[in-house]
Structure 1
């Protein structure tokens, strides 16, 4: 049983997405995690012990953030796009849902640190490298990691007109879920290299043949960003603040989620503006 648990955690800390074929390693290798040693685990700061705990599970996992968790006695850790809680003594690790019964919310799902981590990574992708479907004066903008073959990606794209009518701009980023070097990856490069990306994406999602093209393109970069924020399937929808809104959502449900998020932000913004 311990071996199975360890395997599950190692999978959670990997940078690969589900339903994805093996691929060549990226050109830029992530920085090595701090090695776990007996002295580090027994002494040092709570942050050191959290890093050592992750390194003990997976020495290749890149720890990108360690901070105080809302749960007393734990550090909040972002590694491989995943949010984990590690006890201050480095002995216990939690992953999944942590419910605040008083506030009626999932602390992990609503982690400000994780949302900010995602927002910053997504912001590294220039606007010109995205495929954007936007109405005039959009009220909301969502980032969608998409694939041209996935059924729910196609369903979402079929409703992009309704999303625009509801005031939602959609900015697509490429996430070929079959992995780098796959035909899926090559077809998405062809879409991004098309002189009319929006038309090429729409045609590809409608099942039309993709004309082979090649050029300097952002597909691999966008795929890498998706992995680093923990995308595990497509579509993956994120708000402008980096909050994951879900996979496929009907237009009305997505608008409702965005309205709910905006309503939660309003009191915090007012409190911050108060003298």
Structure 2
């Protein structure tokens, strides 16, 4: 087979493969009432890996007769057990996070060793508790970078409050006020709140506070400065 013919054959196979996956994806969405973000051949022979819009991973056999749910574990040559499903989700989470990573509000530690991203709502009791202890996190070498996850739509109070904070010229001061119960004057601008919210929903975050660590691990709820320091070290 000459080189041009071989390239043509490979291209045709790729198109067929993409079309097959697209058709399978449509059938799966219709049959199970789910929204699929990704579908591709998995590490298990004869199974597709399916990622849904709520960050669930399913495995469907290529003959469409079997669907597996739950984490997939891999045993390495040195008998270590790796949660493959969690590793995939971590990688995907960090990849998508890149698009909003520079739009957070950073409280930087003077002796920074770690950066923890925290999705907050100013109406959230445990978010306020985290902010109350922020100096302790910073003292422990943990920089805190806030992102917004309002509990309401863009017309709601929490959305407007968070948007005003991100639109302010003094974001840290406005967060300090809001976390102490003083609602900042509404400011309208092209804030990144919707993009924060979209990322959180795609990542399956259930509420606030939600912590996203540098390795892609997610922690839901309040964690004390001492426990977080111990976890990161």
* Bucket of the pairwise TM-score, normalised by the shorter protein: 0.7 to 0.9
1:82 aligned residue: 55
1:246 aligned residue: 220
1:174 aligned residue: 148
Distance (Å, rounded) in 1 between the aligned partners of 2:115 and 2:127? 17
Contact 1:51 1:63 survives alignment (8 Å)? no
TM-score, normalization: structure 2? 0.77
1:16 aligned residue: none
1:121 aligned residue: 96
C-alpha spacing 1:183/1:94, structure 2 compared with 1 (3 Å): farther
Higher deviation after alignment, 90-99 or 115-124: 90-99
Q: Which runs of 5+ in 2 are unaligned?
A: 1-16
Of 122, 133, 144 in structure 1, the residue corresponding to residue 107 of structure 2 is 133
- For residues 8-23 of structure 1, what are the structure 2 equivalents within 5 Å? none
Of 179, 182, 193 in structure 1, the residue corresponding to residue 167 of structure 2 is 193
| CA-to-aligned-CA distance 1:187-240 (integer Å, 9 cap, x gap) | 111111122111111211111132111122111121112112222211111112
Contact 1:66 1:77 survives alignment (8 Å)? yes
Contact 1:138 1:167 survives alignment (8 Å)? yes
Distance (Å, rounded) in 2 between the aligned partners of 1:135 and 1:178? 31
2:3 aligned residue: none
Distance (Å, rounded) in 2 between the aligned partners of 1:253 and 1:72? 41
Of 202, 209, 212 in structure 1, the residue corresponding to residue 183 of structure 2 is 209
Of 209, 234, 250 in structure 1, the residue corresponding to residue 208 of structure 2 is 234
Contact 2:111 2:139 survives alignment (8 Å)? no
Of 17, 26, 32 in structure 2, the residue corresponding to residue 57 of structure 1 is 32
Aligned-partner SS, 2:143? strand
Q: Which runs of 5+ in 1 are unaligned?
A: 1-39, 260-275
C-alpha RMSD of matched pairs (Å): 2.9
Q: Which has the larger radius of gyration?
A: 2
How far 1:51 sits from its partner (Å)?
A: 6.3
C-alpha spacing 1:51/1:161, structure 2 compared with 1 (3 Å): farther
Distance (Å, rounded) in 2 between the aligned partners of 1:117 and 1:97? 15
Aligned-partner SS, 2:204? coil
Higher deviation after alignment, 214-223 or 98-107: 98-107
Distance (Å, rounded) in 1 between the aligned partners of 2:65 and 2:109? 51
Contact 1:50 1:90 survives alignment (8 Å)? no
Contact 2:121 2:151 survives alignment (8 Å)? yes
Distance (Å, rounded) in 2 between the aligned partners of 1:98 and 1:136? 40
